[in-house]
Amino acid sequence: MSYAVIDIGANTIRLSIFAIEKEKPILLFNKNQTAGLANYNIDGELSQAGIDTLIKVLGKYQKILSYYRTEKDYIFATASLRNVGNSKEVIKKVKEELDIKIDLLNGKQEANLGFLGISTSVKNLESGITVDIGGGSTEIVYFKDEKIEDVFNLDDGCLSLHKKFVKGIVPTKEELDLISEYIDDKFIEFSDIPKDIDRLVGIGGTIRSTGKILKELNVTNNKNAFKVYDVYYLISLLNKNDQETYKSILKVSPDRIHTILTGLMIFKKICETFKIKDINVSNFGIREGYLIDKIK
């Protein structure tokens, strides 16, 4: 018995097919396509070109799924549609064109389901924060004694920041300064979370790509476990426009070449705010959490 999950993100749209063994999802098939829906957010609405791109990718995935005998297919969207004013119209259009129903998650649901996925794969979640830096939003969950204490949502991610502040492909020093000021203002609302947390468990494209890049650069031996000073080192290399670093990105995460630095600016601020030392990357995230929630 297998299940399909399609995750409509602000940067990528991903199709995953899972089997369920001992109440845990086992990944059988995975395909993602960079759609950059955040770039089609024009005056607060998803443009017609963005809607066409979404329908095209979902139609392609529909054909792939026609070759699989899945028990159930689930499709959900996060900030990609949550942050546009015409989300209801977009969802209706997709339903009319493809007979696909999209489940639109709010920020709190996204954070809770991400934590559910993480808690299924990571042991000894005593206290700390989970972080999901996506293309259009960032979710932070503060947990204690393996239970959620609070959920915080930042309505910006690596791609939306790039769209707001960056004119070229990679941000200039002046643009990074503006991004830094903008993030500082945003983080004032997170003052209620206890500091000195130490432990951070990450999911999402920015954090996973960071681990891959650090391993490719031989900064760490484990892409799923690294130190906060490794992150600062990577940022310094990118700020220096180090060509070997950008070549490493092109090898392991080419679709992140333009957004990795904007995502790292959010990541850096989170680490500074909560005085993080160690970073772990979970293999399970929102897709697994969403599926677990549905089948239960």
The string of pLDDT tens digits covering residues 149-158 is: 888 889 899 9
**What is the total residue count of the chain?**
296
Per-domain boundaries in the chain: 2-104, 123-281
Which pLDDT score is estimated for 82? 95
Q: What is the pLDDT of residue 196?
A: 67
Confidence (pTM): 0.89
**What is the Cα–Cα distance from 162 to 169, expressed in whole angstroms?**
9
pLDDT at residue 259, rounded to an integer: 94
Which DSSP string do the residues of the chain spell out, in sequence order? -EEEEEEE-SSEEEEEEEEEETTEEEEEEEEEEE--GGGGEETTEE-HHHHHHHHHHHHHHHHHHTTS--SEEEEEE-HHHHTSTTHHHHHHHHHHHH----EE--HHHHHHHHHHHHHHH-S---EEEEEEE-SS-EEEEEEETTEEEEEEEES--HHHHHHHH-SSSS--HHHHHHHHHHHHHHGGGGTTS-S---EEEEESHHHHHHHHHHHHTTS-S-TTEEEHHHHHHHHHHHHTT-HHHHHHHHHH-GGGTTTHHHHHHHHHHHHHHTT--EEEE-S--HHHHHHHHHH-
Do domains 2-104 and 123-281 share one topology? The answer is yes
CATH of span 123-281 = 3.30.420.150
Per-residue pLDDT of 147-184, as tens digits, reads 888 888 898 999 999 999 999 999 999 999 999 999 99
From the candidate CATH numbers 3.30.420.40, 3.40.190.10, 3.40.190.150, 1.10.3720.10, the one assigned to the domain spanning 2-104: 3.30.420.40
pLDDT < 70 stretches in the chain: 190-196
pLDDT of the residue at 195:
64
